[in-house]
Chain A
């Protein structure tokens, strides 16, 4: 019997979509291994119904631990306790910053093997094999575990959400002790929104800007182009420029941002790091403009233009306007 423990991130009364995908994936894999998938949530007064609802995605049991939310180390403590007591063979995480931190801490605590950025997992001969793309996704490595516990940290959007056809799962309280290190960190504020609240998820055409725009004012070029397309178009941004304060957080694509799949994704001055790619690779048409011919984005764009944004974008805006007017 090989049971799988799946971490479920929750915030503001809802479970994270990537975590739901991980629960679905865990249930599927556990069935192939002849075991069960259980989920674990940690927080202050986690609603019973929220925990039980993970049963719909295939969790046979849900553990709820009481502790400070939004930090990794309390979860390392709780999951290590659950795994030691419950004899789980694998711990599974959907894509997400906390999952990376918890999974890594757990690997150190348990002496377990860990694979991160995993895009696929399969059961083979009674054990799990994780696939992880490496070297800018130019190769895929396969990883097995020699340890009693294997830790699998998925890439953002790697695990598909199954149909929510199951029944509610029984919920059990997990008691555990916070480690010394977990008591040294305190959440002051969580989930602060910075910048205007913009909607990019419904747009058919996204003009996305990165560091190549040079400065906050550079986003005017992207906004002008989006304006020329008109209709259902919007401007999006990379994490680097959002962190730099050039554009609102609500417009951010990728890891810790939004996942989008518009008809047209035009990336202006975006290098195309994996963390960005995971949030937009499902777009129907990807056009990239970048002055660096070696930018990874050219490896997954349908049309790539090597050149200077400041020259190309204004002319493209005029040309799109002219075309629309004709």
Chain B
């Protein structure tokens, strides 16, 4: 079985995210890291590999993004991926969700995976939707926000028994492979990479591909060809900032909380 894990570099959560007023797009400069949600997808792949229910030949991390996205791939490899693929081409810059999903699907097609895993959302754009777009382009079944996943049967006849929470409670869904699964963060507790794995990550094979290499139709990607067009960005209505207490003396803090509640007749 071959597993591809889609990963993304996102602005470090400690760095303030902003919109570039001239383009209406997110300013993706500044400190970057691997999207924390993606670490759960890599861990899920590792657990299938180590679980032994089905032999896993390879775990491949796949990303699309500028040169700096290589760091997210190194991190993914340090967490267990065997090698990585980087779709890097100015032509895909500024793609919306639908165009990004198309470009990633084309990149995945070349790898021909039995299972595509990804995190439930990205830490920056908060789109929960890329998995469904990729699955549609690959004509594969898909499910998002999966919190438990068991592999049953072998390659070719294999399937996944997935659990996830939806609107009315927990659903259990049986899905035949190949499939695209986005995992929720409750699925596992990602491991920390060893120092050796971090040091070795740069030596693992990294394949950089262009849009042409994976037969992406350039008229379907990029900011100007994306069907959803960001026309403006504005500020939300200002909300009065709440009062903040830093707890130094807990007795005093609690007194303040009680007074605050009492003033509003909440006790």
Which residues of A pack against B, CB within 8 Å? 9, 11-12, 16, 70-73, 76, 96-98, 100-105, 107-109, 111-117, 129, 133-147, 150, 153, 179-182, 184-194, 205, 229, 239-240, 242-244, 249, 256, 263-264, 274, 285-287, 293-294, 298, 300-308, 311-312, 315-316, 319-320, 323-324
- Contact between chains at B98 and A114 (CB < 8 Å): yes
- Contact between chains at A113 and B144 (CB < 8 Å): no
- Contact between chains at B171 and A112 (CB < 8 Å): no
- Contact between chains at B144 and A97 (CB < 8 Å): yes
The 8 closest A-B pairs by CB, nearest first: A307-B247, A113-B227, A243-B186, A113-B228, A104-B129, A108-B136, A104-B132, A147-B227
Q: How many whole Å from A81's CB to the nearest CB in chain B?
A: 15
- Contact between chains at A306 and B234 (CB < 8 Å): no
Q: How many whole Å from B143's CB to the nearest CB in chain A?
A: 7
Q: Which residue of A lies closest to B257 (CB)?
A: A316
| Interface residue from B133, B145, B161, B243 paired with A304 (Cβ < 8 Å) | B243
Interface residues of B in 223-267 (CB under 8 A from A): 226-236, 239, 242-247, 250-251, 253-255, 257-258, 260-262, 264, 266-267
Q: Provide the bound-state CA to CA distance between A186 and B173, in Å.
A: 6
Q: Which residue of B lies closest to A186 (CB)?
A: B174
| Interface residue from A146, A287, A303, A308 paired with B247 (Cβ < 8 Å) | A308
Q: Which of B17-25, B43-51, B57-65, B190-198 contacts A (4 or more CB under 8 A)?
A: B17-25
Chain B residues within 8 Å of A116, by CB: 97, 127-129
- Contact between chains at A304 and B19 (CB < 8 Å): no
- Contact between chains at B173 and A188 (CB < 8 Å): yes
Chain A residues within 8 Å of B133, by CB: 104-105, 107-108
14 contacts between A and B (CB under 8 A): A9-B167, A100-B132, A104-B131, A113-B226, A114-B97, A115-B228, A140-B233, A143-B229, A181-B142, A185-B141, A190-B168, A244-B186, A249-B170, A304-B244
Q: How many whole Å from A7's CB to the nearest CB in chain B?
A: 13
Main secondary structure on B side of the interface with A: mixed
- Asked if B74 is at the interface of the complex by the 8 Å CB criterion, the answer is no
| Interface residue from A135, A141, A184, A294 paired with B140 (Cβ < 8 Å) | A184
- Contact between chains at B255 and A319 (CB < 8 Å): yes
Q: Which residue of B lies closest to A109 (CB)?
A: B136
Q: Which residue of B lies closest to A108 (CB)?
A: B136
- Asked if B68 is at the interface of the complex by the 8 Å CB criterion, the answer is no
Q: How many whole Å from B92's CB to the nearest CB in chain A?
A: 16
- Contact between chains at A96 and B167 (CB < 8 Å): yes
Against A, the Cβ 8 Å flags (1 = close, 0 = not) of B154-178 are 0000000100011111111111100
Chain A residues within 8 Å of B135, by CB: 73, 105, 181
Which one of A141, A186, A194, A239 has the highest number of Cβ atoms from chain B below 10 Å of its Cβ? Answer: A141
- Asked if B112 is at the interface of the complex by the 8 Å CB criterion, the answer is no
- Contact between chains at A205 and B266 (CB < 8 Å): yes
- Asked if B203 is at the interface of the complex by the 8 Å CB criterion, the answer is no
Q: How many whole Å from A305's CB to the nearest CB in chain B?
A: 5
Against A, the Cβ 8 Å flags (1 = close, 0 = not) of B118-133 are 0000001111111111
Chain B residues within 8 Å of A97, by CB: 144-145, 166-167
Q: How many whole Å from A148's CB to the nearest CB in chain B?
A: 9
A70-B229 contact given A135-B17, A305-B253, CB 8 Å threshold: no
- Asked if B222 is at the interface of the complex by the 8 Å CB criterion, the answer is no
Chain B count of residues within 8 A CB distance of the other chain: 82
- Asked if B218 is at the interface of the complex by the 8 Å CB criterion, the answer is no
- Asked if B184 is at the interface of the complex by the 8 Å CB criterion, the answer is yes
Chain B residues within 8 Å of A181, by CB: 135-136, 139-142
Chain B residues within 8 Å of A286, by CB: 242
- Asked if B96 is at the interface of the complex by the 8 Å CB criterion, the answer is yes
- Contact between chains at B228 and A101 (CB < 8 Å): no
A194-B266 contact given A103-B129, A116-B127, A274-B126, CB 8 Å threshold: no
Which one of B228, B239, B244, B264 has the highest number of Cβ atoms from chain A below 10 Å of its Cβ? Answer: B228
Q: Provide the bound-state CA to CA distance between A287 and B249, in Å.
A: 18
Which one of B24, B227, B260, B262 has the highest number of Cβ atoms from chain A below 10 Å of its Cβ? Answer: B227
Chain A residues within 8 Å of B140, by CB: 181, 184
A185-B247 contact given A145-B229, A287-B257, A323-B262, CB 8 Å threshold: no
- Asked if B1 is at the interface of the complex by the 8 Å CB criterion, the answer is no
Chain B residues within 8 Å of A146, by CB: 226-229
Q: How many whole Å from B21's CB to the nearest CB in chain A?
A: 10
| Interface residue from B24, B147, B171 paired with A189 (Cβ < 8 Å) | B171
Chain B residues within 8 Å of A150, by CB: 227-228
